[in-house]
Amino acid sequence: MEVLRQKNTPFRALLCTFFAVVFALASQQGFAQGQALREPSALLTDLQGHRHLIEELHGTPAVINFWATWCMPCKSEMPRLVKLQERYPKVRFVAISIDNADTRAKIPALIAKRKFSLTVWQGASADTLKELALGELVPATVILDTDGMLVGRIEGEASEKDIASRLDWLLNGRQGKQPKLVQKNDW
């Protein structure tokens, strides 16, 4: 019996390693293709104070951009997001601010100055980004299908092509080469 155990030691080690990797991957806070975006624990409101939920976006494809008034890459993304909203009228675009109570008051002025016509919600934070497995920095963008399932996640400043390629793939019946699920752009 001792000889059998010794012969199986490499196999057991391999098996243990395999299960350790599987459990580690399963426990990671991340997204998989076709996984729903979890509802964050943060109270999300529009600028008039009305509460909103991510699930409101179900029924139509959606682009959700997390941003902040103090974030320069976020500000440079704004015109692209507005342009994409005009290009894809059947897609719902929502910008969720992670500004804290001190900087939240700057949101209306920034939106007016930059002619930012997207729906804006507030109340998220860096903790919300971590909770949703989006990293800790803004900008961050997620693209959802009509069922609220994840189609793409972009960490960092998104180019028009980054978002358009995922929307085109989704709106064309998921035909052609599927864009990468996760894209990390350097700042």
Looking at residue 32, what is its pLDDT?
A: 58
- DSSP string for 19-79: HHHHHHHHHS----TTPBPPPPSS-EEETTS-EE-GGGGTTS-EEEEEE-TT-HHHHHHHH
Residue 7, both tokens: 């012969």
pTM score over 0.85: no
Mean pLDDT value of segment 5-12: 50
Of the listed ranges 34-38, 75-79, 101-105, 111-115, the least confidently predicted one is 34-38
Looking at residue 31, what is its pLDDT?
A: 52
Looking at residue 18, what is its pLDDT?
A: 40
Mean pLDDT value of segment 63-83: 96
pLDDT band at residue 41, thresholds of 50, 70 and 90?
A: confident
